[in-house]
Chains A and B, each alone.
Chain A
Amino acid sequence: MPSRVDPLETMPVSRYAGAVRWSLRLWFGALMVFLYLPIMFMVVFSFDESRTPGLPITGFTLHWYDVLLDNRVLLGAVGNSITVAVVVAILATAIGTMAAFVLVRGGIRYPNATRIAFTLPIMVPGVLIGVSLLIYFARAADLPLSLGTVIAGQLVVTVPFVVLIVASRLQGVDRALEWAAADLGASPRQAIRHIVLPLIAPAILAGALISVTLSIDEFVITWFTVGAQSTLPTYIYTRIKFGVTPEVNAVATIMLVATLLTFGIASLILGRARRLPGRRRGPVRA
Chain B
Amino acid sequence: MATEIVGGAAVAPPTSVSGGRAARLRQLAPFLPAGLILVGLFFVPLALMLVFSFWSTDENLDVVPVWSLENYANFFDNPTYVRTLAKTMIMGAGVTLACLVGAFAVAYFLARYVSRRWARLALLVIIVPFWTSYLLRVYSWQAILGEHGALNEVLMALGLISEPSRLFVYNDVGTFIVLVYVYVPFAALVLYASLDRFDFTQLTAAQDLGARPIQAFRHILLPQIRPGIITACIFVFIPILGEFLTPSMVGGAQGLLIANLLANFFKNALIPEGAAVGFMIAAFVILLLVVFRRYLRVEDVVARA
Contacts and interface: CB of A to CB of B under 8 A. Distances in A.
Contact of B148 (A54, A99, A135): A54
A161 B244 contact: no
A237 B136 CA distance: 9
B181 A41 contact: no
Interface residues of B, number: 99
Interface stretch (B29-37, B67-75, B78-86, B165-173): B29-37
B49 A108 contact: no
B232 interface: no
A38 B137 contact: yes
Interface string B35-46: 101100110111
Contacts of B296: 119
B58 interface: no
B193 to A, nearest CB: 10
B199 A127 contact: no
B30 A256 contact: no
B90 interface: no
Contacts of A124: 238, 242, 282, 285-286
A177 to B, nearest CB: 10
Max chain A C-beta neighbours (<10 A), residue from B102, B136, B197: B136
Contacts of B185: 35
B1 interface: yes
A165 B271 contact: no
A17 B244 CA distance: 43
A55 interface: yes
Contact of B141 (A38, A54, A140): A38
A13 B200 CA distance: 13
Max chain B C-beta neighbours (<10 A), residue from A39, A123, A171: A123
Given A31-B126, A135-B48, A125 B241 contact: yes
B274 A31 contact: no
Interface stretch (A4-12, A59-67, A70-78, A193-201): A4-12
B11 to A, nearest CB: 5
B263 interface: yes
Nearest to B296: A119
Interface in A21-75: 21, 24-25, 27-28, 31-32, 34-39, 41-42, 45, 52-56
A69 B140 CA distance: 21
B105 to A, nearest CB: 5
A285 B106 contact: no
A38 B144 contact: yes
B249 A240 contact: yes
A132 B279 CA distance: 9
A89 B118 CA distance: 31
B210 interface: no
Contact of A132 (B35, B46, B122, B204): B46
A52 B108 CA distance: 40
B14 A255 contact: no
If over half of A's interface residues share one DSSP class (helix, strand or loop), that class is named, otherwise mixed; here it is: helix
A125 B131 contact: no
A30 to B, nearest CB: 9
Given A116-B293, A236-B136, A127 B263 contact: yes
A53 B249 CA distance: 16
Contacts of A117: 38
Contacts of B245: 219-220, 237
B45 A136 contact: yes
Nearest to A160: B38
B135 A255 contact: no
A120 B132 contact: no
Contacts of A56: 153
A127 B275 CA distance: 12
Nearest to A137: B45
Nearest to A174: B4
Max chain B C-beta neighbours (<10 A), residue from A45, A135, A156: A135
B109 A27 contact: yes
B221 interface: no
B113 A55 contact: no
B110 to A, nearest CB: 8
Nearest to A162: B34
A229 interface: no
A9 to B, nearest CB: 7
B293 to A, nearest CB: 7
Contact of B136 (A21, A248, A263): A248
B184 interface: yes
A132 B109 contact: no
Interface string A134-148: 111001100000000
B202 to A, nearest CB: 10
A6 B205 CA distance: 12
Interface in B231-261: 234, 238-239, 241-245, 249, 259
B260 to A, nearest CB: 9
24 contacts: A9-B201, A16-B213, A27-B106, A28-B109, A39-B132, A39-B140, A95-B37, A99-B35, A101-B30, A108-B31, A118-B34, A120-B42, A123-B238, A135-B52, A159-B34, A164-B303, A213-B131, A219-B135, A219-B245, A220-B244, A237-B135, A252-B136, A263-B131, A285-B303
Given A39-B132, A127-B278, A179-B14, 13 more contacts: A13-B204, A28-B105, A41-B150, A42-B137, A98-B31, A127-B244, A129-B45, A168-B299, A179-B13, A217-B133, A217-B134, A240-B135, A252-B133
Give the 4 A-B residue pairs with the shortest CB-CB distance, closest first.
A125-B242, A99-B34, A98-B30, A132-B45
